[in-house]
Amino acid sequence: MPQSGPGVIEIFEDFVGAEWIVANTAASGQIGSLRVIGDGIAETDSGVVNLESDGMSGVAQLTTTNEDKHACGIATPIMWDVALMGTLVLEARVRLPAEANRAVFIGFSDVNSDDLSLEDDLIHGNGTTTTLTASDLVGFHYSSEYTNADAWHTAYNGGTSTGETTSTSIECTGEDAVAGDFQVFRVELAPNGTAFFYIDGKPAGNSASVKASGISGAVSTSVDLAAMVVVESKTTTALTLDVDYMLVRGNRDWTV
């Protein structure tokens, strides 16, 4: 197919004005080039707003509704082909205002429905078990219901490596969540399906080999993916996640 100069697709949202206000009651929305998704979005207490008093540089606050297993997220369409468009990059600077009663996913998946629930549709963590519901996913997972409730996890499913369901095998060593502090999360997907994880610019993972070489075959090279940042309430209280920026980058697929 014909090619031209714009061979790289880059989506960067700094949240300096656009909002999907609480009380909108629509099933889904849009901020810049990103979709606003989650099964809480249609409720009057869920949405994505700009922080005023604590939002230097532009910070969006994702707010769930006050129902268990209801989520609020920002995502691209399902538009990324790992083999044809890699290396794919998702980077986001996020802050957990508190650690309790919530789950977070920062990564890629083949599921990005308007009514997305992390627990029901994508991934769930409880005790030392990770339940991989989506057939294809890769990214950072946090759940206050894990035994080690401070840990970030490098979750994956769908590639040639079987998705790990024992949470202690995918805990990120030395990089725990810290309530009130921003952390920078970066996921890179090579065209061969190898996934690399970084927290605050340092390789992340459960072992020295994962940190150095990534996870081979973490994701399928033939399933299209969406990039997303999602928070979900694990109780009957509306909960939040602060996002300073979100960057998604990949090469254009010239075969279509």
Residue-level pLDDT at 46: 87
Residue-level pLDDT at 19: 65
Does the CA dihedral 25-238-157-60 come out positive or negative?
Answer: positive
Rounded to 5 degrees, φ, ψ at 168 are -65, -20
C-alpha to C-alpha distance for 202 and 204, rounded to whole angstroms: 6
Helices (H) and strands (E) in the chain, counts: 2, 17
The domains found in the chain, sorted by start residue, are 8-251 (2.60.120.560)
Say if pTM beats, i.e. exceeds, 0.75: yes
By C-alpha distance, which of 130, 72, 135, 68 is closest to 108?
135
Residue 211: strand, helix, or coil: helix
Q: Which helix (H) or strand (E) holds 155?
A: strand 153-157
Token pair listed for 85: 């468009």
Q: Is the pLDDT of residue 255 over 90?
A: no
Q: Is the pLDDT of residue 57 over 90?
A: no
Q: Is the pLDDT of residue 10 over 90?
A: yes
By C-alpha distance, which of 10, 72, 65 is closest to 35?
72
Residue-level pLDDT at 51: 84
| pLDDT above 70 as % of the chain | 94
Q: Could you tell me the pLDDT band of residue 3, with boundaries at 50, 70 and 90?
A: low
Residue-level pLDDT at 2: 56
Q: What is the mean pLDDT of the chain?
A: 91
pLDDT tens digits for range 17-50: 776 667 666 666 788 889 999 988 878 888 888 8
Residue-level pLDDT at 25: 64
Q: Could you tell me the pLDDT band of residue 210, with boundaries at 50, 70 and 90?
A: very high
